[in-house]
Amino acid sequence: MRCTAIVVAGGSGRRFGGPKQFAILNGEVVAARSVSVCRSVADEVILVVPAGLAADPHGADRVVVGGETRSASVRAGLALVDESVDAVLIHDAARPLATERLFFSVLAELADPSVDGAIAALGVTDTIKEVSETDGRRHVVATLDRSRLVAVQTPQVFRTSILRQAHESEPEATDDAALVEAVGGMVIAVPGEVENLKLTSPRDLDEAERLIERV
């Protein structure tokens, strides 16, 4: 199965205080670590970056400027994917600790022809409640069954044809699985990794450094 990876590194990093995807982690640029691990399953890696930061490919085969939203950035990368590619893997640059095992796990699900995509996900351990706001105060509406809930990570992988279909009308979502689900695609959730944290603050970068040192 021919696979192309799109590494999404187009965010501004407002909460981080700058483009977190280009911070240094254990002596290496975060985006470069994410590009490198994609090589475990991908024949080609496309890096999607913010405007003005397209000079350094950070090990990717091609670089493209992203859009205003995450979905728009994925579409910018998807436009470069060759028609002969069977599967497109999407990974957030801000998750630099995902292991090769996780990449192989999601891609392996596409061996089943009835499966359109696979995502990494962790079971929810906290009690989750649905709330509603009235007069500035939030009150509980329902307590959800956490056995049926997961927290979603990347990598995520999809058959190229259905991913293109899902993005055809330029919809928006927080991840690509939601778009594939919306067009009727079957998406499998495989066990994610606790260490596959997403860098959202400088504190997360410190935690990632500690996790690397422990290995």
- The pLDDT value given to residue 51: 84
Q: Are strands 117-123 and 44-49 parallel, antiparallel or unpaired?
A: unpaired
* Closest listed residue to residue 49, CA positions, set 58, 38, 39: 58
Neighbours of 129 (CB within 10 A): 12
Which amino acid makes up residue 142?
A: A
- The pLDDT value given to residue 17: 56
- Record the tokens describing residue 114, joined without a space: 């009835």
- The pLDDT value given to residue 194: 96
Cis ω before 155 (30° cut-off from 0): yes
- The pLDDT value given to residue 52: 76
CB of 77 within 8 A of CB of 65?
Answer: no
Q: Burial code of 76-92, b = ≥16 C-beta within 10 A, e = fewer? A: bbbeebeeebebbbbbb
Neighbours of 72 (CB within 10 A): 15
Beta bridge partners of 5: 45, 89
Q: What CATH number is associated with residue 124?
A: 3.90.550.10
- Record the tokens describing residue 7, joined without a space: 């590494």
Domain residues for 210?
3-214
Q: Which residues of the chain have pLDDT under 50?
A: none
User: Rounded CA gap, 116 and 159, in Å?
Assistant: 6
- Record the tokens describing residue 133, joined without a space: 């706001």
Q: Which residue has the tokens 């910018």?
A: 76
Number of domains into which the chain is organized: 1
- The pLDDT value given to residue 13: 57
Q: Which residue has the tokens 């640029």?
A: 29
- The pLDDT value given to residue 32: 96
- The pLDDT value given to residue 54: 66
- The pLDDT value given to residue 16: 56
- The pLDDT value given to residue 150: 97
pLDDT tens, residue by residue, 56-109: 899 999 999 999 999 999 999 999 999 999 999 999 999 999 999 999 999 999
pTM for this one?
A: 0.93
